[in-house]
């Protein structure tokens, strides 16, 4: 197994073209070494260097290496997982006895939920230090994919805020994330920073995601990345899932004998049918199971995601915790409302294609913020517009389906504004009447929380993690059956016909999100979740895969 992994590492290292590193060498005695611009160095006793002129890893190579490595370390993960009671989708982790309004990300309507780790029983209280007597790790390596510095998404918001809070809490943070590939930056790509908020940032060679070419992935397997991780001397490695980087994160955690945490952020199996790749759904779940069974702890971003992972056999209630929802309520605030921005959202300025209401309060201005892509189910909103007299829709965001969506909404009062950032985005939220979320694939839905913090009532599909963001459906937002445009339209008309109810819901939405800060969420990760991973590793000591010297 060791020999096979080394050969995969040698092939993967050639994707790291930007660094100039060669492949790992692999030897019969298990040594390894990093080469220069030529091939890999000799690998210990009897070792041979990896070739420096092998094929570059394009998307096909990357997928092949991921699947091959999955098969190799799957047996290790299965063995580790076998010692823990089997998964049960109907079993919940014991949590604090509290009402649905104060429990951490409780799922409206009941169902199995995983504990977030907060034992205080109060959403507004700071989490207590937990983790079975283990202290919080100080030196952390984050493998984050795609890059939170160059790829716009709610995932980006989460990690930029979390990295800042970790550094402010006194942690030494190293971030490994996809950067340049063999052909340089991907179209529309951005340069990585070398430092962010006091954290060191190292880019790994990347390749386009198969089937989603604008997303850079990385195997992170090269001597340069290994040296960075080893010299950091981490207490814990945390990797995002699913993706390609978990392969490297698992390998390095084994080589250094440190705990591995895997956080689940994107429900790729539910995306695949919408991308015409439904035949890969079973294989993707197999890969996700392998990643999370290999980790000492899984972190899900919502109770629903935790339940999905448990049901799929990727983890069980004892090995999963929930990352609390959070939002920056200073940045996203109703006070940012702007008549000028409202005109833009209505299509009355900067080339918009919508129709301006002229201040008609009975003509609702609906807002969607997010990626413009097939899996977001934006097509549903055309039917909603047809059923709500005078309604206008503003779409903020960009993505691979932009041309398709513009054609689909042609002739409707819809404005596509493209990507907005910073204060401009906050002003856009605050200047609309209502936020609509038709997506059925959200693991959480950070944009829903941002809209609520901005004082917008939310009308959303009752799917994924969105109900846990709203927290109190009927009070802080309204849910409709997924895919049901008639029900979505009725919810919107109900709010527009009752201005007092709409204003009350806007206040409740803001109040709900005001209880959840990024600092509080990060402290729960540091004080409860990471110590739980350290405790799990202590109960089952990690055997080094290779010598780290």
The whole-number average pLDDT for the span 238-265 is 96
- pLDDT band for position 45 (cuts 50, 70, 90): very low
Bridge partners of residue 366, in order along the sequence: 393, 434
DSSP per residue, 288-324: HHHHHHHSSEEEESSHHHHHHHHHTTS--TTSEEEPP
Place of tokens 């030897």: 27
- Determine the distance from the C-alpha atom of residue 541 to the mean position of all C-alpha atoms in its chain, rounded to a whole number: 29
Q: Which of 304, 336, 299, 332 is nearest to 315 (CA)?
A: 299
Confidence (pLDDT) at 452: 98
User: For residues 524 and 324, is the Cβ–Cβ distance under 8 A?
Assistant: yes
CA 422 – CA 420 distance, rounded (Å): 7
Task: For domain 334-349+362-515, give the CATH superfamily.
Answer: Glycogen Phosphorylase B; (3.40.50.2000)
| Beta-strand pair 199-209/212-217 | antiparallel
* Model pLDDT for residues 437-456, shown as the tens digit of each residue: 999 999 999 999 999 999 99
Q: Which of 41, 33, 37 is nearest to 18 (CA)?
A: 37
The whole-number average pLDDT for the span 28-35 is 34
CA 59 – CA 244 distance, rounded (Å): 11
Confidence (pLDDT) at 368: 99
- pLDDT band for position 41 (cuts 50, 70, 90): very low
Half-sphere exposure for 427 (CA within 13 Å, toward CB): 13
Q: Which of 524, 501, 496 is nearest to 432 (CA)?
A: 496
* Model pLDDT for residues 485-532, shown as the tens digit of each residue: 999 999 999 999 999 999 999 999 999 999 999 999 999 999 999 999
Of 248-257, 346-355, 482-491, 496-505, minimum mean pLDDT range: 346-355
292: left (phi over 0), alpha (psi -120 to 50) or beta: alpha
**Rg of the Cα trace of the chain?**
24
Question: Please, what is the average pLDDT of the chain?
Answer: 78
* Model pLDDT for residues 133-145, shown as the tens digit of each residue: 468 899 999 999 9
The whole-number average pLDDT for the span 411-424 is 96
Confidence (pLDDT) at 186: 61
Confidence (pLDDT) at 272: 82
Confidence (pLDDT) at 208: 84
Q: What is the DSSP letter of 166?
A: H
CATH assignment, 139-326+520-539: 3.40.50.2000
CA 19 – CA 369 distance, rounded (Å): 36
The whole-number average pLDDT for the span 32-45 is 36
- pLDDT band for position 542 (cuts 50, 70, 90): low
Of 57-66, 84-93, 180-189, minimum mean pLDDT range: 84-93
Bridge partners of residue 26, in order along the sequence: 48
The whole-number average pLDDT for the span 86-112 is 31
**Please, which residues have CB within 8 angstroms of residue 202's CB and are 6 or more apart in sequence?**
174, 175, 176, 177, 225, 228
CA 93 – CA 113 distance, rounded (Å): 7
The strands making up 458-461's β-sheet, listed across from edge to edge, are 414-418, 392-396, 365-369, 434-437, 458-461, 478-480
Query: Is the model's pLDDT at 423 over the cut of 90?
Result: yes
- What is the domain partition of the chain in residue ranges? 139-326+520-539, 334-349+362-515
Confidence (pLDDT) at 169: 97
| Beta-strand pair 320-322/297-300 | parallel
- pLDDT band for position 123 (cuts 50, 70, 90): very low
Buried b (16+ CB within 10 A) or exposed e, 468-497: bbbbbbebbbbbbebebbebbbbbbeebbe
Query: Is the model's pLDDT at 291 over the cut of 50?
Result: yes
CA 269 – CA 282 distance, rounded (Å): 8
Q: What does residue 429 show for φ and ψ, rounded to 5 degrees?
A: -55, -50
* Model pLDDT for residues 102-122, shown as the tens digit of each residue: 222 222 233 333 443 333 333
CA 93 – CA 321 distance, rounded (Å): 9
Confidence (pLDDT) at 504: 96
Q: Which of 288, 265, 297, 290 is nearest to 464 (CA)?
A: 265
Topology agreement, domain 139-326+520-539 and domain 334-349+362-515: yes
* Model pLDDT for residues 465-478, shown as the tens digit of each residue: 999 999 988 999 99
Confidence (pLDDT) at 61: 46
């Amino acid at each position: 197994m060791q020999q096979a992994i080394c050969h995969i590492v040698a092939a993967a290292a050639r994707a790291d073209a930007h660094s100039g590193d060669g492949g790992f060498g692999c030897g019969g005695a298990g040594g390894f070494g990093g080469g220069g611009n030529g091939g890999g160095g000799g690998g210990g006793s009897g070792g041979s260097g990896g070739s420096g002129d092998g094929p570059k890893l394009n998307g096909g190579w990357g997928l092949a290496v991921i699947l091959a490595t999955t098969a190799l370390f799957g047996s290790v993960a299965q063995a580790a997982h076998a010692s823990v009671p089997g998964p049960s989708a109907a079993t919940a982790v014991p949590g604090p006895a509290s009402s649905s309004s104060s429990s951490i990300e409780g799922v409206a309507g009941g169902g199995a939920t995983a504990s977030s780790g907060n034992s205080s029983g109060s959403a507004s209280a700071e989490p207590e230090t937990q983790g079975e007597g283990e202290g919080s790790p100080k030196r952390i390596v984050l493998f984050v994919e795609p890059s939170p510095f160059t790829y716009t998404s709610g995932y980006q918001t989460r990690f930029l805020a979390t990295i800042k809070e970790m550094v402010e809490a006194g942690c030494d943070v190293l971030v490994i994330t996809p950067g340049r590939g063999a052909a340089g930056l991907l179209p529309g790509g951005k340069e990585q920073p070398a430092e962010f908020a006091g954290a060191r940032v190292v880019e790994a060679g990347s390749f386009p995601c198969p089937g989603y070419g604008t997303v850079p992935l990385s195997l992170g397997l090269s001597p340069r990345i290994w040296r960075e991780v080893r010299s950091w001397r981490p207490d814990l490695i945390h990797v995002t899932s699913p993706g390609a980087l978990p392969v490297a994160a698992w390998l390095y955690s084994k080589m250094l004998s440190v705990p591995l945490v895997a956080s689940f952020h994107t429900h790729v199996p539910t995306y695949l049918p919408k991308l015409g790749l439904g035949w890969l759904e079973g294989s993707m779940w197999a890969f996700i199971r392998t990643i999370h069974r290999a980790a000492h702890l899984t972190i899900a971003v919502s109770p629903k995601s935790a339940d999905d992972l448990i049901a799929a056999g990727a983890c069980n209630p004892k090995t999963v915790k929930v990352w609390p929802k959070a939002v920056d309520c200073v940045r996203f605030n109703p006070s940012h409302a702007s008549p000028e921005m409202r005109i833009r959202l209505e299509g009355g300025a900067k080339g918009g294609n919508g129709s301006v209401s002229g201040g008609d309060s009975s003509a609702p201005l609906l807002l969607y913020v997010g990626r413009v892509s097939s899996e977001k189910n934006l097509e549903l909103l055309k039917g909603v517009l047809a059923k709500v007299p005078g309604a206008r829709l503003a779409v903020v965001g960009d993505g691979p389906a932009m041309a398709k969506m513009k054609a689909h909404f042609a002739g409707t009062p819809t404005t596509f504004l493209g990507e907005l950032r910073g204060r401009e985005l906050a002003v856009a939220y605050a200047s609309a009447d209502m936020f609509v979320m038709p997506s059925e694939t959200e693991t959480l839905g950070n944009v829903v929380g941002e809209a609520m913090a901005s004082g917008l009532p939310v009308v959303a599909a009752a799917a994924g993690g969105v109900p846990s963001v709203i927290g109190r459906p009927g009070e802080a937002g309204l849910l409709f059956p997924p895919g049901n445009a008639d029900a979505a339209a009725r919810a919107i008309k109900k709010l527009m016909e009752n201005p007092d109810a709409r204003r009350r819901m806007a206040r409740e939405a803001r109040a709900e999100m005001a209880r959840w800060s990024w600092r509080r969420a990060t402290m729960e990760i540091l004080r409860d979740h990471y110590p739980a991973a350290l405790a799990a590793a202590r109960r089952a000591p990690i055997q080094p895969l290779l010598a780290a010297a």
